[in-house]
Amino acid sequence: MAMSDFDAIVVGAGVVGIAVARSIALSGRTVLLLDGERHFGSWTSSRNSEVIHAGIYYAVGSLKSRLCVSGKEKLYSYCSAHGIPHRQVGKLIFASGPSQHEALEKIAGLASAQGVDLQWLGADEARRFEPELDCSAALWSPTTGIVDVHAFMLAMLGEAEAHDAMFVPNSRVERVSRADGLWYVHLPGEAEAIAGAPILVNSAGLEAQRLASATEGLDPVHVPQLHLARGIYFGYGGTVPFTHLIYPVPEPGGLGLHLTLDLAGRARFGPDVEWIDAVDYSINESRKPAFVAGARRIWSGIDPDKLYADYAGVRPKLSGAGMPAGDFAISGPETHGCPGLVNLFGIESPGLTSSLAIGELVMEMLNS
């Protein structure tokens, strides 16, 4: 198959880009999936908590709410059908004192309005779940889980490739031109486009705005401002007395410093929220005291010496510091008037959980 002979081009091979490429390929179209890195999923998709979210926190009617709730069910089913390691471990959202009960009640109300199952627990009930958690009340979310994100991406990519998708790494798209009803993708230093197709999906994550701004014929009014928030994770080099995920009441810009477990039972704390001006995955060790303090609110008996800087991720947010939380922005031809073009902006958490649902939504937009 020549590089120019495709029905669709998807730029960005993170978990969402792969899900979109899979969805398009399953519709019978040939797909070219491009990524600027050597491996798929090298950015946000490999720098998160690997949590399957229940759909608790998001505004009723928002894309995040709708796609998370439906995507969660699709993700669990997909993992079960394809043998992808995952576990529905559940999580507790806890109040450290009565002053936070109102915040828990608001979360419970949001979840109820979206049909998400939550159970209110008093302090004694919460301790039956997690004896080491010091709290005055908690919400139990039974449908929260964890997943091996790499295995999930690998399964979707294999399925897409089996249906005439081609993945090409090391292919950072510099700009997109438009001619004769086709979208053409151009790499840096290349005089000619490497491929053209009637469909182009921009799922470039942290670079989605840059690529949209370099797309011929797209009015800049349809490119929202990007806000970057770095989140650091600290691992724990020892055994923890917890079997569920533990979350505090959310904080501005994130869900608060929480405890997650991977499929091997290893614990990590994070992420925090640090507003930055450019993508930077470095970890400032001076932030460790704040992690120790946050971890102690979950587990008073923690050994601070066993906390170590693990990794950082950067969220491509559509709202900045002090602004209301932003939604996903999935912009298709009905919005911007460019046939065959779909731009995905602000695909942060719960992007992993929502990925299969996002893939289906993009297909609906392209077929309408």
Q: Do domains 8-49+150-224+326-367 and 89-143+226-317 have the same CATH topology?
A: no
Q: What H or E segment, with its residue span, contains residue 105? A: helix 101-113
Question: Mean pLDDT throughout 205-222?
Answer: 98
How is the chain split among helix, strand and coil, in percent rounded to 5? 35, 25, 40
What pLDDT, in 10s, does the model give residues 13-45? 999 999 999 999 999 999 999 999 999 999 999
Q: How many CB atoms lie within 10 A of CB 106?
A: 13
CATH assignment of 89-143+226-317, given 3.40.50.920, 3.40.190.10, 3.30.9.10, 3.50.50.60? 3.30.9.10
Model confidence, pTM: 0.96
Q: Can you name the CATH fold of 8-49+150-224+326-367?
A: FAD/NAD(P)-binding domain (3.50.50)
Question: Mean pLDDT throughout 162-172?
Answer: 97
Delimit the domains of the chain by residue range: 8-49+150-224+326-367, 89-143+226-317
Percent of the chain with pLDDT over 70: 98
What pLDDT, in 10s, does the model give residues 301-353? 999 999 999 999 999 999 999 999 999 999 999 999 999 999 999 999 999 99
State the Cα–Cα distance between residues 94 and 26, nearest whole angstrom.
42
| pLDDT band of 1, cuts 50, 70, 90 | very low
Our CA dihedral for 216, 218, 219, 221, rounded to 10 degrees, sits at -130
As given in the structure block, the two tokens for residue 215 are: 């797309």
